[in-house]
Structure 1
């Protein structure tokens, strides 16, 4: 039997991991500038957490979660997104009692959703996200959005579009919900079963339906923007003001509703407009979630965050032809000729590594020509050649692979020579 990677997953091979490491390092450095600290949560949580936070009418809960029963008959779910777990940790560890508020966190790691595999969409995918919990200031909304934009721009992406909307507060959404029910109810039988199920619980999700998006009632549905109360309008105006003073260009899209039930007020997406990127253009999405902390047993603590697909950032870089930095460097490749030379090479390589010099050697006992080819493929900066003659003289031949020059260097002086040069 031949084994293959499960459908919807992929192996990330060494030739690709440097690209991932480059993005991960960029993320860590940018979050540090913004004073966001990393949090790491388990890859599975109690299923009830996602039912209460993400929403039982969402596609994620209804169709996409990997849920299983463990040996203790507990229902557990592989995390489909990052916010719920971070908020759970915030409540469980009483982070609302920390002296410095809001609590600013970021996470990075695998998420799991059962969905149709396509370019940039996998059943196991890597997501980076931030959460700022404990402030209802519209300025923190702008900060979170600017952090997301900075990541994209530092990744070398230029074909970007920032889209924002206001989902309003609880009062505004209740009024809008009532009007949506009145609008769709007479003809709800013409819609898919998912929409029929959502009519009373969360009719806003009907507007995001991919099956019935061309139904005539979609175009005439009451807009949420028409139901925003004065407080919600003022909040959204403030967010736009802060984004403007930050120099961030944006578009307001009243149809942007996002796919999770916990969002209130600000919602946003960053999209790639690069030619050839694909039909699914979203790189990042997020919004404010006032009420989520209370919903899972915590105190009143408004929050805002986003999730960004690392896979999708890499695809966008590829679409734009962004040159990626080379992270790893091989300082020295040691060529050993003969068994005694091999012993010396092992000793030398060990000493190099202990002193912060990247080094490698041949483990297949190949001829000198083959070893030199290996050094060239690995882009070694220098090659150190050790043979019987060199052992007798207490030195090695050091060849600079850039200009081709070479010279003999005493074993005792190789380390200091390399550090000088």
Structure 2
């Protein structure tokens, strides 16, 4: 019988590598708590129409990458490919927006049928933030600040914030006409994907990864030049806010969000620590999405981070450390093992990390495992210790030992010791 394997693009997170995930999740949660951003959890499975309307039927995500199927109720269902649409749907459905502006965050698995690569699998995980009902430029600044400070707190290096403005709906329509006219004159020089996007979503051509297309676009019309005075003033306020907070950024006029509901601020935070420059956070203002999904017109801004890529960066930069036990408990013999599990339980109830060896091996083999665990202390309980009630506490760093009574054990882990 063949051994079963994970599906391509799906990955197990094994115990030896899970510490980076836990650190990342804990730091992310703490930053959201400090910023008074409330957590929201939405289903992995949604109606396909949510993403067709929310992301756009003409996008690669909807057209080529979604995991979609018909369920037993003859409904078209999709594993979520991103988090924003589900959060907005939940806010509309549950009346959150009638309670005032909402600052929300989410974390969880997403699914896209893409070519697997380092830091991006077909099942991947995102941490995202959504500000619903906020229109002032300073809300753009706050959203970016939360992302920037979180990434800095993770110990990531070589970060770069790229910033652009997509302007108002009228600005984008004006620019779109200019861009399409220019692209049609150079259509035969575009890569195949860009030629297809010319008919469906021409702004996305600006985000092409094809080097020849990027070289060609250097002479394309400038998006910022198409912005009206009001849009330029708004963008200037965002830049001033970031400058005041000493967050470095650079303008990138090719940075776009090619969906109709995006406008004004668009940004990405990248890192070159993985070699080629890679996006670790992307976001923007999407004032049209709530209305597009059936709600009232609502100003929104949000971002998402890919957790696999962040964990990889943290590992490469040695910003994750394995959590060692406070104590490794070694025992041999029935009576000793009963004392060992009781001692481990009492210490765990007091908040200490205790590793209990269940191998039944000799003391020498158990001691090797204790040293490998990096615990500073080991508790040794054999027949003699079980009979006398005096347990051997061994300092694995100095190799010194002392006898302690079971009832005195907790005092060796008090903050004053």
- Which TM bucket (shorter chain)? over 0.9
Q: Is the aligned partner of 1:39 residue 2:40?
A: yes
**For 1:342-353, what aligned pairs fall within 5 Å after superposition?**
342-353=337-348
Residue of structure 2 aligned with 1:302, choices 299, 304, 309: 299
Structure 2 Cα separation of the partners of residues 402 and 260 of structure 1 = 59
- Determine the structure 1 residue equivalent to 2:124: 125
Q: Report the CA distance between 1:382 and its aligned residue.
A: 1.7
**For 1:40-189, what aligned pairs fall within 5 Å after superposition?**
40-99=41-100, 101=101, 103-185=102-184, 188=187
Q: Is the aligned partner of 1:324 residue 2:334?
A: no
- Determine the structure 1 residue equivalent to 2:399: 404
- Contact 2:260 2:288 (C-alpha < 8 Å) held by counterparts: no
Q: Provide the secondary structure at the position in 1 that maps to 2:294.
A: coil
Deviations 1:222-241 (A, max 9, x none): 22222111221111111111
> Unpaired runs of 5+ in structure 1?
none
Deviates more, 1:237-246 or 1:354-363: 354-363
Q: Report the CA distance between 1:85 and its aligned residue.
A: 0.8
- Determine the structure 2 residue equivalent to 1:15: 16
**For 1:352-391, what aligned pairs fall within 5 Å after superposition?**
352-391=347-386
Q: Report the CA distance between 1:163 and its aligned residue.
A: 0.5
- Determine the structure 1 residue equivalent to 2:221: 222
Shift in alpha-carbon separation, 1:345–1:180, aligned structure 2, 3 A: same
Shift in alpha-carbon separation, 1:212–1:411, aligned structure 2, 3 A: closer
Deviations 1:138-161 (A, max 9, x none): 101011111111111111123111
Q: Report the CA distance between 1:107 and its aligned residue.
A: 0.9
Q: Report the CA distance between 1:189 and its aligned residue.
A: 6.5
Q: Provide the secondary structure at the position in 1 that maps to 2:213.
A: coil
Structure 1 Cα separation of the partners of residues 167 and 199 of structure 2 = 19
- Determine the structure 1 residue equivalent to 2:332: 337
TM-score, length-scaled by structure 2: 0.93
Shift in alpha-carbon separation, 1:216–1:120, aligned structure 2, 3 A: closer
Structure 2 Cα separation of the partners of residues 191 and 2 of structure 1 = 46
Shift in alpha-carbon separation, 1:409–1:52, aligned structure 2, 3 A: same
Structure 1 Cα separation of the partners of residues 270 and 211 of structure 2 = 23
Q: Is the aligned partner of 1:29 residue 2:25?
A: no
Deviations 1:178-219 (A, max 9, x none): 222323345647656654554344321233334585388634
Q: Is the aligned partner of 1:262 residue 2:261?
A: yes
Q: Provide the secondary structure at the position in 1 that maps to 2:157.
A: coil
Deviations 1:36-76 (A, max 9, x none): 11111111211111111112222211221111111111111
- Determine the structure 2 residue equivalent to 1:238: 237
Deviates more, 1:247-256 or 1:386-395: 386-395
- Contact 2:208 2:214 (C-alpha < 8 Å) held by counterparts: no
Shift in alpha-carbon separation, 1:215–1:270, aligned structure 2, 3 A: closer
Deviations 1:233-260 (A, max 9, x none): 1111111111111111111111111355
- Determine the structure 2 residue equivalent to 1:252: 251
Structure 2 Cα separation of the partners of residues 196 and 323 of structure 1 = 43
Structure 1 Cα separation of the partners of residues 319 and 215 of structure 2 = 45
Q: Report the CA distance between 1:331 and its aligned residue.
A: 2.1
RMSD: 2.1
TM-score, length-scaled by structure 1: 0.92
> In the comparison of the two structures, how many residue pairs are matched?
415
Structure 1 Cα separation of the partners of residues 385 and 193 of structure 2 = 77
- Contact 2:163 2:255 (C-alpha < 8 Å) held by counterparts: yes
Q: Report the CA distance between 1:221 and its aligned residue.
A: 2.8
- Contact 2:189 2:213 (C-alpha < 8 Å) held by counterparts: no
